[in-house]
């Protein structure tokens, strides 16, 4: 999504001409340009639809020192970063963990 620069310019002009002189208008345009760049960067970071998400499920196992206990599971990595989810072997937990990491609130319904 790209901001409508023409509309942004119109808004800046309306604000600037009502309150400031020409020098201050130019300064306001510069600041709005900085803001626009920041917004574009943030939108690009949030645009996961065109990005490849690399999800890795890595098996782990552990046997305690005396051999009486054995545990195992899976760790989830999203684009190389390990997620905190403790039950990745459960597909529902894994899906929720990945979507939460991407900033989505998730509710899973069963039919």
**Would you state the pLDDT for residue 50?**
58
The encoded tokens of residue 99 equal 């979507």
CA 49 – CA 85 distance, rounded (Å):
23
Together in a domain, 11 and 29: yes
Is residue 109 assigned to a domain?
Answer: no
**Would you state the pLDDT for residue 54?**
85
pLDDT along the chain (111 residues), means of 10: 68 63 68 71 63 83 90 86 76 82 80 74
Cβ neighbours of residue 77 closer than 8 Å, sequence gap 6 or more: 54, 55, 56, 57, 58, 83
Together in a domain, 67 and 30: no
Q: How many CB atoms lie within 10 A of CB 88?
A: 21
**Would you state the pLDDT for residue 94?**
81
**Would you state the pLDDT for residue 63?**
92
10 membership: H or E segment, kind and range: helix 5-19
**Total structural domains within the chain:** 2
């Amino acid at each position: 999504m790209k901001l409508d620069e023409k509309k942004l310019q119109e808004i800046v002009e309306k604000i600037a001409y009502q309150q400031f002189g020409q020098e201050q208008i130019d300064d306001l345009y510069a600041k709005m340009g900085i803001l626009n760049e920041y917004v574009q960067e943030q939108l690009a970071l949030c645009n996961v639809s065109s990005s490849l998400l690399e999800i890795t499920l890595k098996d782990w196992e552990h046997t305690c020192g005396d051999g009486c206990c054995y545990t195992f599971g899976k760790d989830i990595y999203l684009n190389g970063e390990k997620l905190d989810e403790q039950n990745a072997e459960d597909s529902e937990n894994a899906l929720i963990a990945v979507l939460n990491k991407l900033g989505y609130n998730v509710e899973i319904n069963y039919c």
